[in-house]
Chain A
Amino acid sequence: MTLTISGLKVAVGDREILRGVDLDLQPGRVHGLAGESGSGKTMTGLAVLGLLPHGAKATGRITLGERDLLGMSAKELNKIRGGEVAMVFQDPATSMHPMLTIGRQLTEHMRHHLGLGRKEARARAIELLGQVRIPGAASAIDRYPHQFSGGMRQRIAIAIALACSPKVLIADEPTTALDVTVQAGVLRLLRGLCDDLGLAVLLVTHDLGVMSAVADEVSVMKEGLVVETGPRGRVLRDPEHPYTRALLDSLPGEKA
């Protein structure tokens, strides 16, 4: 299922944070969204699931297949959240509840959205943990988040996001809080899941290195606008917009 964002504007009071964003997510493709801090990348991701901070207003169109997510009631949107569109957040140390076992956090929305029983949900959770390559999944499921390393926590967060077999995955800086050594593993996992499950992935990141490793399409944001969008190879090798060029030039080491 495709997710299309068109003319998305978000305003807090009089201040416009997003000034008309257009994005297109296709199944089995990773769409990278780059830009500096404050450019509105995260806001774009949050707006899709109606998770904007208190006081922010979104206008425009966000369509999932035929349905307009922005016009949905809270109840309808709650069925989409976690069910058809899932999200992975930046810091796995804070995005899971510290006092609930990961089994609980893996199964609760499955039971809610899919109506699974306790046992079925647990079996699927163990399967998911294996899928994101958590060793000893059957015993890991009863542990608490603080008993895992950062990289493993983010894998678990990805498993949680995948639990209800969503069509779209929004990953907001999923590797920023991780050690460089484990970043690659998480990115490879995301890429693999995208290919195997036909997920449409929106990968929000400020890191062009991450982008060049996994994205199919790349969009570059600046001050609430998408200034450039296109296939990864073209955008990174032959940027049209001066801002994209500036971003690329700011990368240390070899020029892309």
Chain B
Amino acid sequence: MSPTSVPSKNSEAAPKRESAGAAPRRGGGPSPLVRFLVRRVLTALLLAVGITLVTFVLTNLVPGDPVAANLGQRALGDPAIVAQWKAEHGLDKPLPQQYLLHLQGVLQGDLGTSQQSHRPVLDDLAEAVPATLELAGTAILISLVAGVAFGVIAALRRDRLSDHVLRVLSLVGISVPTFWLALTTFYIFFYRLQITPGSGRIDPGMSAPPHVTGLYTVDSALAGQWDVFASAVGHLATPALVLALYTIGLLTRFTRSAVLEVMGQDYVRAARAKGLPGRVILFRYVLRSALVPIITVAGLAFGSLLSGTVLVEAIFAWPGVGQYAFKSATTLDLPAVMGVGLVIGAVYLVINLIVDVLYGVIDPRVRLT
């Protein structure tokens, strides 16, 4: 925020132009917010290409012969067939060229064929991704609502009983390993008490709702199949809560400290000196500033939440990306592994893009950098 452009006449005479080194356009041209957004999206696209390179290189570093993995014993004995197969898949070309071919395939939506399912990886992912998005998305929503609410309550009731209780609970949430929590809740609530539905996304006798988004809760509601909807919500609730617990704890702690820090700022005292009602000060003054660190942590937490899905999906037999990744990794199904890597990388990218854009929307100063 240091002044960078000193107005020409005298420092008191004219408001500063919002130029912080970058393109001090006068009049016309896109607004700072639009320019900021364009810049962020371009960066994200560049990173997306980077992700394809990294997944490609990593997968090619893994010792393993795709020829042996894909051709039968007899075909392997025939050098002509091997050569033809290699030529077909571009494996006779040097690595950089192979990468370009791979990139071309990715751009055309061709991620190769899974050696396990013998289906295009893209088709496998098209089924698994919505399942994981439904699970992880629900979990992050729960975490945001609960974590921010708990954090604000703890900050407002600082050093009182509710603050202490929330502090202990959030510590528990952060400390309990997700896989252990998944196993225990599954065992206690499904196996012993039988109050939660078991594994999978809906009850075994039901058929999936007609595909629109791939999210069963949304699709069933769209189709008006309320029994399926109830079943989908029931199946979603436990794994989502299990997955959310860590992030709830994390966000509670970060929100508490962020809110307390902002409450000590001069501008909050100034707002109180203006006689604004408490709720206006909380929402307009305190939370607005506190949201910046909260969003940062939430974005990072979403990443750890995605890695948590691998275990939770395995335990709750949730047919998502996590389970798919687990299966393909343990069977060295390299095209599938590469596909999962791409998808996870892309999700990270999107989350970071959203976080960046939110910074710019919330804080006008960010748009200038």
Chain A residues close to B by CB (< 8 Å): 49, 51, 78-83, 86-87, 89, 91, 93-100, 108-109, 112-113, 134-136, 139-140, 143-144, 146-149, 151-152, 157, 160, 179, 181-182, 185
Contact = CB atoms under 8 A, between A and B. Distances in A.
A146 B1 contact: yes
Contacts of B365: 98-99, 144, 146
Given A97-B285, A146-B1, A136 B15 contact: yes
A94 B265 contact: yes
Nearest to A49: B273
B195 to A, nearest CB: 45
Given A82-B275, A146-B365, A140 B15 contact: yes
Contacts of A51: 269, 272-273
8 contacts: A78-B276, A78-B277, A95-B267, A97-B285, A98-B267, A143-B15, A146-B1, A160-B274
Chain B: interface size category: 20 to 34
Interface residues of chain B: helix, strand, loop or mixed (majority)? loop
A98 B365 CA distance: 8
Interface of B: 1, 3, 11-18, 265-267, 269-277, 280, 284-285, 288-289, 362-365
Nearest to A152: B12
A70 B194 CA distance: 60
Given A82-B274, A97-B288, A136-B15, 7 more contacts: A89-B273, A95-B270, A97-B289, A98-B289, A99-B288, A140-B15, A149-B12
Contacts of A146: 1, 364-365
Contacts of A79: 275
A86 B274 CA distance: 7
Contacts of A82: 273-276
Nearest to A181: B11
A82 B11 CA distance: 29
Contacts of B13: 135
Contact of A108 (B269, B276, B289): B276
Contacts of B285: 97, 100
A143 B280 CA distance: 21
Given A99-B364, A108-B280, A87 B270 contact: yes
A184 to B, nearest CB: 11
A108 B14 contact: no
A87 B285 CA distance: 18
